[in-house]
Amino acid sequence: EVQLVESGGGLVQPGGSLRLSCAASGFTFSSYDMNWVRQAPGKGLEWVSYITSGSSTTFYADSVKGRFTISRDNAKDSLYLQMNSLRAEDTAVYYCARDGPTYRHWGQGALVTVSS
């Protein structure tokens, strides 16, 4: 069974940093592209970032470009999102999602709250 488990969320002050992790199991992680998708409280879905299976290509939404960095460690079956210079508008549940560009498998999400 495919499982994706996010961790690392929490409360951070504006301008701060946070690193999200997504632990994958139940499939060959190194064979799949991965993504981060977020959802602000009470709002819709927003694609954040994408990384290919071998990390050769990454894409970012304009709203996070230059502040967020997606990465992965295939030896550890893990996906990461390093978030710097956080803003109030980055407050959201962050989901990791497998595949692309349609997402068949999602994690349960990690809540990031940016507030002073």
Partner 1 sequence: EIVMTQSPATLSVSPGERVTLSCRASQSVSNNLAWYQQKPGQAPRLLIYGPSTRATGIPARFSGSGSGTEFTLTISSLQSEDFAVYYCQQYNNWPPITFGQGTRLEIK
Interface residue with partner 1, options 1, 41, 44, 56 (CB under 8 A): 44
**In contact, 23 and 7? CB cutoff 8 Å:** yes
**In contact, 9 and 108? CB cutoff 8 Å:** no
Nearer to partner 1, 28 or 108 (CB): 108
* Pairing relationship of beta strands 10-12 and 110-114 according to DSSP bridges: parallel
State CA 55 to chain mean position distance: 14
Question: Applying CB under 8 A, does 27 fall inside the site for partner 1?
Answer: no
Q: Please tell me the count of residues contacting partner 1 according to CB under 8 A.
A: 20
Interface residue with partner 1, options 1, 31, 56, 101 (CB under 8 A): 101
Question: Applying CB under 8 A, does 47 fall inside the site for partner 1?
Answer: yes
> Rounded distance, CA 111 to CA 95, Å?
9
User: Min. distance of Cβ 11 from partner 1 in angstroms?
Assistant: 20
Q: What angle do CA 109, 67, 80 make, to 5 degrees?
A: 40
The tokens for 34 are 């991965």
Interface residue with partner 1, options 95, 110, 112, 114 (CB under 8 A): 95
Binding site for partner 1 (CB under 8 A): 35, 44-47, 50, 59-62, 95, 100-104, 106-109
